A and B are shown apart, each in its own frame.
Chain A
Amino acid sequence: MDKAVGFYESTLGKKVVMAVTGIILFLYLVGHMLGNLQIFLDPAQIDKYAHMLHASAAFLWSVRLVLLFCLGVHILAAFQVWWRSRTARPVKYKVFNPPDVDYAAKTMVWSGPIIAAFITYHLLHLTVGMDSLHPDYVHLGAYNNVVAGFQQTPVAIAYIVALLLLAFHLYHGLWSLFQTMGWDHPKFGPWRRPLAVLLTAVIAAGFISVPVAVMTGVLQLVGG
């Protein structure tokens, strides 16, 4: 335990913790996205899936707690690392054009908190079903909850924008974590960018397909 605490004290340790929690959150996103795609099967399918996830409260809450813990630690470390770098250059440059800096890398500290705000909104909207956010919410009626939710165009657009930001975050994160974990080698180094682009595109496309399908009328409310 002593060693682990000492490890976390350094920025290198914090980055490893961010990478590990980032990987766990990423794997969860893959599962979540695949779960969501069931909405394109029979409408009853995703409701069945929702019931299955809720079958065991112990299971549901263990997963939720693990995710919440990972997210909390990830954000805490991100904030500490960001704070340290903020103080590392007290006098700024008048002109600063560091080469090779991509947009995603530059916006990690902004895409992160916006994603956090989105996650909060998303949980209140489609998990809790807060009346003011989603008046037609029915507990475990996943299919209609999603379709009715996204039939509000501003809501669908907010989801799409947030998911695009998440894609930027993941793109840099998925590339970056190999570096952080020490998994860099000339043999596969050149593949890391394309791999990050591919995984990010698949995730983003999977998630975004749902609001788009509702907006274009491919998915309609079902009676009952």
Chain B
Amino acid sequence: MKLTLEIWRQKDANDKGHFETYELDNVRSHMSFLEMLDVLNQELIEKGEEPVAFDHDCREAICGTCGFVINGVAHGHMKRNTVCQLHMRTFNDGDHLVLEPWRAKAFPLVRDLIVDRSAFERIQRAGGYISARTGSAPDANSILIPKEQAEAALDFAECIGCGACVASCPNGAAMLFVGARIAHLGFLPQGQPERVERAKAMVAAMEQEGFGACTNYTSCEATCPKGVSIVGIAKMNKDYFNAKLFSGGNLGGKE
């Protein structure tokens, strides 16, 4: 099949950047989107041009490294998918596709379709951890967790940190990512000791990075490759609310 690709090209953060249009003839339906770009890049290299830079690693939709916007939708038109697992059979001959990097102040552009997502790392480091005793391995199941809670925690733990939620948010907000991290640990007994500090620290870090403010559009949930639910955002709001207004000091024991 034949495709017209309009791709954002930008050498580095200081370059102004522009769209470049490419025609690609021999696209096979069994290719993934990234394999299709590999073919394009091979052609560019043979012509002595710069290949299109894009991020990728596992190509199995589990690492969260890949991602760009295809025709205005983060990770493309298939639900619960990453661009590495997006297959060319879901496109039509003659399609015109516009490829753009994640656009957010907090995700500065590195090159072409690659952005720097270390803002997520800094938020994670601010509070997305638990304190655990090291030393000999604890007995299995020494801390009991109700099944529903374990399942909810795992659902939120599915977040792969790809950044599509920010990219597809009209406000450029990172609430789904942060909500997923806070909800994941908040559902587990091991996450309780830091729960109050976590909400404060992660929200503060998120705002410091310059992400936008949530107005509940829900396009984050719709494009999240892992289907992370906006219930996580509500959980974050509640934890933050409690942490800021009702924590610290005497919690209701003796004066």
Contact = CB atoms under 8 A, between A and B. Distances in A.
A13 B244 contact: yes
B103 interface: yes
Interface stretch (B20-28, B47-55, B234-242): B234-242
Contact of B207 (A3, A10, A176, A185): A10
B239 to A, nearest CB: 8
Contact of A16 (B104, B170, B223, B237): B237
Interface of B: 19, 69, 71-74, 98, 100, 103-106, 109, 168-173, 203-204, 207, 210-219, 221-223, 230-231, 233-241, 244-245
B19 A94 contact: yes
A180 interface: yes
A95 B71 contact: yes
A224 interface: no
A4 B212 contact: no
B207 A179 contact: no
B237 A186 contact: no
Interface stretch (A33-41, A79-87, A116-124, A126-134): A79-87
A154 interface: no
Given A97-B73, A105-B217, A88 B168 contact: no
A81 B217 contact: no
A152 B172 CA distance: 45
Given A3-B245, A88-B171, A90-B105, A105 B212 contact: no
Contacts, number: 148
Most chain B CB inside 10 Å of its own CB: which residue of A4, A12, A181, A185: A12
A91 interface: yes
Contacts of B207: 10-11
B48 to A, nearest CB: 27
Nearest to B6: A94
A172 B169 CA distance: 16
Contacts of B210: 87-88
A89 B103 contact: yes
A178 interface: yes
Contacts of A181: 234, 237-238, 241
A191 interface: no
Contact of A11 (B19, B72, B213, B219): B213
